[in-house]
Amino acid sequence: MSPTDIASLISKAETLVEAIPYIEKFRGRVIVIKAGGHGLETPEIKSGLATDVQMLWHLGVNPIVVHGGGPQITHLLESLGVTSRFVRGLRVTDDTAMNVVEMALVGSVNQEIVGLMNRGTARAVGISGKDAGLIRVRRMSPVDGVDLGRVGEVASVNTDFLAQILAAGYIPVIAPTGIGDDGLCYNLNADHVAGAVAAAMQADKLIIMTNVEGLFGAKGELVSSLTAKKTRSAIASGHVKGGMIPKLECCLTALNAGVLKAHIIDGRVAHATLLEIYTDEGIGTEITP
């Protein structure tokens, strides 16, 4: 064996040693992981997510996965000749579009992720917000004078149901739909679902996987860590725009409810979740109370 090979093995061993305190710290704890739809468009990323969640489960963590599926919904609607309309980033969802949302999120994306996670000995189960009334919603008010249709806001989370799934040794994989008092299914923002679930379950961590490295500062530098107060200031100043706003808002929701830390990481990086949890430096942006 060459000196280079030995050095590589030593480096791997050092990484394992570095992970020991984190393995001990998070054993038995709840960690909520949100995987964005844009971050699930390649087989490599989906497979990597499944592998990382399997590893967390084997290390004694109680992972809960919430996934998006916006691009997948749009592609399916387009194949049916339906053009998507958005208001402030929210999809206008009539009855026809809601049927397609369920097909894409619950019937396709959710089951693909579950299948990948169950390739090994981990045990994942796919659920939607309708199952056991997991996510109760209220219909969202018009935005800029536009009725969004069947778009909802999270009103409550059935924590007993999730706790039973975790206690039985399963990994919940949640599609972001919910049920209203009218018995209808509603389309939900996956970031907001992840924040609400993390808050309700008093998770140790909320990890938002996306397709950017994290939050960038005014000079274009990656911000590795900031407080909730500075996060609110960044949103209020207009520095943060677009899809990053709901991600930061869901982090703040979770932190306000007692979640210890929230993270925004680049899901395109191999083993991004493991690097964020089990190394000293981590990657992406960490937000603390």
CA–CA distance, 108 with 36 (Å, rounded to integer): 15
| Cβ-count burial 253-275 (b if 16+ within 10 Å, e if not) | bbbeeebebbbbbbbbbeebbbb
Q: What is the pLDDT at residue 57?
A: 96
Sign for the CA dihedral angle at 129, 133, 134, 140 comes to positive
CA–CA distance, 71 with 81 (Å, rounded to integer): 15
HEC per residue, 37-88: CHHHCCHHHHHHHHHHHHHHHHCCCEEEEEECCHHHHHHHHHHCCCCCCEEC
Q: Are 282 and 276 in contact (CB under 8 A)?
A: yes
Which residue type sits at 254? A
Q: What is the pLDDT at residue 58?
A: 94
Phi, psi (rounded to 5 degrees) for 118? -90, 10
CA–CA distance, 93 with 148 (Å, rounded to integer): 6
CB atoms within 10 A of CB 50: 25
Per the confidence metrics, is the pTM higher than 0.85? Answer: yes
CA–CA distance, 205 with 185 (Å, rounded to integer): 28
Per-block mean pLDDT, blocks of 10 residues, the chain (289 long): 74 82 94 80 84 95 95 91 86 93 94 92 94 97 94 97 98 97 95 94 94 83 90 86 83 93 90 90 88
Name the CA dihedral angle for 273, 274, 278, 283, rounded to a multiple of 10 degrees: -50
CB atoms within 10 A of CB 80: 11
The full set of domain ranges for the chain reads 25-288
Q: Does domain 25-288 have CATH number 3.40.1160.10?
A: yes
Please enumerate in sequence order all residues whose Cβ is within 8 A of that of 196, keeping only pairs 6 or more positions apart, or say none.
135, 154, 157, 250, 253
Q: Where are the beta strands (DSSP E) in the chain?
A: 30-35, 62-67, 86-87, 90-91, 124-128, 135-139, 152-157, 171-175, 177-179, 185-187, 205-210, 225-227, 261-266, 285-288
CA–CA distance, 284 with 39 (Å, rounded to integer): 15
Q: Where are the beta strands (DSSP E) in 84-201?
A: 86-87, 90-91, 124-128, 135-139, 152-157, 171-175, 177-179, 185-187
